[in-house]
Amino acid sequence: MNGLYPLMIKEAQAHQEYKSLNGRDILDFPLHIPMGIDLVVFLDDTFDKYCLLLEHMKKLHGAQAVNVDIDCIKDLGSAILDVLKLFRNGQIAEAYTSFEQRGVEIYDNFPIWEMKGGEFYRMRKDRNIKRVSQMYPLPPELRYLSGGMRFSIPGYSCLYIGQSKNVCKKEISETGSMIDIKPGENVEFNLIDLTFSEDMQKGGEEELKFIHLWPLIASCYIEQFYCLRGNRVCPPENIKFNEKYVIPQFLTTFIRKNHNDINGIRYYTVKDKSLDAFGIGEKNMKNIVIYVDSSSDQSYDDLIKKFEWGEPYNV
């Protein structure tokens, strides 16, 4: 790995000033927000330290960091905080409009991953599932069962799959039903890539996009109510609103409204406390969300037919 970002990880690990308010390196995903610390306060501190790290890298590795625009990154961080503040004040439309305006400005920095071929996996908690159709995403007529998830809005069903069996277990359960799926021949999906991809590890333009987009990417990896003493997430019972979903759901809304050529997002699980961003094989902790066109039954059927589905099996 010859890029700048792996060097940034080493520097963050080596210096105390690049620790977040949870005591971990600021580049560690997910961003565990300790209980009692406000999300906006946490992100503000994290973004500040990220820019300080970049300034340090410019001094240390000037040639590799010469094209990093720190002022642009600071502006993006401030814009994200403003979106969250507007949302908190009940100005939901204004919050999304602000997000959309910034999204239009920075869209060229969005890394795109072409998903074609390969093995993927989907899992449900229930064991002994027999019918392949039970592993499909919810069809349009059952949208009333579709709750909000990280990148999907209540009432809008998406197809979530993993790039390894282990990441599915992290997300769902150690036991349940799983199915192997793969895109059909000549089928290709264009995904916004919120992971440190294979191309980015070589450095160059794709890595630079990731570095500039980092405040937005990090805002999609939030886990609140982290108990430092217990080293685990301890959410209150009966949560009615997940503030951690505001930015990733706005990202989905922005893509669905403005970029029909984008089919979804690739992202890391937030369920792995010791995430290896470069993991391969069963250490690959990357998920994929594929957007479902629920405008008609035919559109839904067309998406299902784009995949080759195996048979469900117990794990």
In 3-state terms, the chain is what percent helix, strand and coil (to 5)? 45, 20, 40
pLDDT, tens digit (0-9, with 9 covering 90-100), for 273-300: 888 888 899 999 999 999 988 777 788 9
The confidence score (pLDDT) of residue 1 equals 58
CA angle 75, 248, 202 (to 5 degrees): 70
Query: Which residue(s) pair with 291 in the sheet?
Result: 158
- Alpha-carbon distance 219 to 154, whole Å? 19
Q: Does residue 147 carry a pLDDT above 90?
A: no
Tokens of 248: 């990733």
Q: How confident is the model over 204-216, as a mean pLDDT?
A: 93
Three-state DSSP class for residue 55: helix
Residue 22 has a CB neighbour count (10 Å cut-off) of 18
| Number of domains comprising the chain | 1
Task: Let me know: does 161 contact 292? Beta carbons within 8 Å.
Answer: no
Q: Would you say residue 100 has pLDDT above 80?
A: yes
pLDDT digits (tens, 9 = 90+) for 133-142: 999 998 888 8
- pLDDT, one tens digit per residue, over 159-183 is 999 999 999 999 999 999 999 999 9
Confidence of residue 244 (pLDDT cuts 50, 70, 90): very high
**Entry pTM:** 0.94
Q: State which residues form the domain around 50.
A: 4-314
Rounded average pLDDT over 199-219: 89
Average pLDDT of the segment spanning 64-68: 88
Q: How many residues does the chain have?
A: 315
Out of 23-27, 199-203, 215-219, 253-257, least confident range: 199-203
**Other CB atoms within 10 Å distance of the CB of residue 167:** 25
